[in-house]
């Protein structure tokens, strides 16, 4: 794992150097462009607002680059990046394992079996629904009323005796 850590640190250092170089080149290019505009127009008063805006943007970019550089040099950031890389490696290994498990499965036959089970369940539910529909609800209601009529006096006797 130490070799991976060294590689991450080297990558971050390389990125830091690249960002600092880009920042310097960008600043030099802006200054050069400003000088060319000044010479081309011959009037600094026309370019002054544009130059100020451009310089503000360069300063904002420079501050952003400095923040990135600070973050790249931050040990906690490097550790977080290492953990993220390790997590990605674990996920990749898990994906390999899952895909190899899927490769050994016959999904078509399992889907057919599931389809047959769903069809049989649907048929059973249909039969049950038909049986419920055939129940004589009026007769059932009458039987419940008759039972209630029969049990009411017994309930009164049981309540009076207790």
* pLDDT tens digits along 135-160: 777 777 888 888 888 888 777 777 75
**What Cα–Cα distance (Å) separates residue 144 from each residue in 129, 131, 133, 152?**
22, 20, 18, 12
- Who has greater pLDDT, 145 or 65? 145
The answer as to whether 82 is a domain residue is no
Domain that holds residue 111: 107-162
The answer as to whether 124 is a domain residue is yes
- pTM value is 0.31
Q: How many domains does the chain have?
A: 1
Which two structure tokens, joined as six digits, stand for 25? 């080149």
The answer as to whether 148 is a domain residue is yes
The answer as to whether 114 is a domain residue is yes
The answer as to whether 33 is a domain residue is no
Residue 45 has a CB neighbour count (10 Å cut-off) of: 7
> Distance (Å, rounded) from C-alpha 54 to C-alpha 35?
12
User: Which phi and psi (to 5°) does residue 30 adopt?
Assistant: -65, -45
Judged by DSSP in three states, 104 sits in coil
The answer as to whether 34 is a domain residue is no
Residue 26 clears pLDDT 80, i.e. is over it: yes
């Amino acid at each position: 794992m130490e070799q991976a850590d060294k590689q991450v640190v080297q990558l971050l250092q390389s990125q830091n150097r690249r960002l600092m170089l880009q920042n310097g080149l960008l600043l030099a290019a802006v200054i050069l462009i400003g000088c060319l505009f000044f010479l081309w127009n011959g009037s600094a008063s026309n370019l002054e607002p544009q130059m100020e805006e451009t310089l503000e943007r360069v300063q904002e970019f420079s501050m952003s680059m400095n923040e990135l550089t600070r973050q790249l040099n931050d040990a906690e950031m490097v550790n977080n990046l290492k953990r993220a890389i390790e997590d990605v490696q674990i996920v990749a290994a898990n994906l390999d394992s899952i895909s190899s498990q899927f490769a050994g499965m016959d999904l078509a036959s399992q889907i057919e079996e599931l389809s047959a089970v769903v069809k049989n369940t649907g048929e059973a539910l249909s039969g049950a629904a038909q049986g419920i529909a055939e129940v004589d609800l009026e007769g059932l209601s009458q039987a419940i009323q008759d039972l209630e009529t029969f049990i009411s006096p017994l309930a009164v006797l049981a309540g009076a005796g207790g």
